[in-house]
């Protein structure tokens, strides 16, 4: 789940408005918090720690989410695939994994035959 979605869900679950969050975060105005919640901007390290305190979650949970969205080892397609996978229910995820594993197996077999 993207960081902005996580932040919006946490805010909704805690009943916090954008203004409430901005008040709890040093040097963050309402416009900045709104940009975090819409994914237009990413909070800095100190701001992430303050967000974690505000929402009552471990900072590592938010940092891990941010790291996964910024992972330079993943291509845009991998990010898109992961987002699509996470939007599926458990049955659909299982079916998608089965198809992907089957396709990967077919590709490996084709490479072996071509050697």
- For residues 18 and 48, what is the distance between their CA atoms, to the nearest angstrom? 15
Structure confidence at residue 45 (pLDDT): 84
CATH number among 3.90.190.10, 3.30.1010.10, 1.10.260.40, 1.10.357.10, domain 3-70: 1.10.260.40
* Residue the block writes with tokens 């720690």: 49
- Closest alpha carbon to 97 in 108, 86, 110, 109: 86
Higher pLDDT, 48 or 69: 48
Structure confidence at residue 44 (pLDDT): 87
pLDDT digits (tens, 9 = 90+) for 56-110: 988 887 877 666 666 666 677 787 787 788 888 999 999 999 999 999 887 777 7
pTM over the 0.85 mark: no
Strand boundaries in the chain, DSSP class E: none
């Amino acid at each position: 789940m993207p960081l902005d979605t996580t932040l919006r869900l946490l805010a909704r679950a805690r009943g916090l408005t954008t203004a409430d969050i901005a008040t709890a975060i040093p040097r963050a105005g309402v416009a900045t918090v709104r940009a975090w919640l819409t994914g237009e901007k990413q909070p800095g390290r100190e701001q992430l720690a303050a967000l974690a305190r505000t929402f009552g979650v471990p900072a590592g949970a938010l940092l891990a989410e941010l790291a996964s969205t910024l992972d330079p080892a993943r291509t845009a397609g991998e990010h898109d695939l992961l987002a699509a996978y996470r939007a599926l229910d458990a049955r659909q995820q299982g079916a998608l994994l089965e198809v992907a594993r089957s396709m990967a197996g077919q590709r490996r077999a084709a490479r072996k035959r071509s050697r």
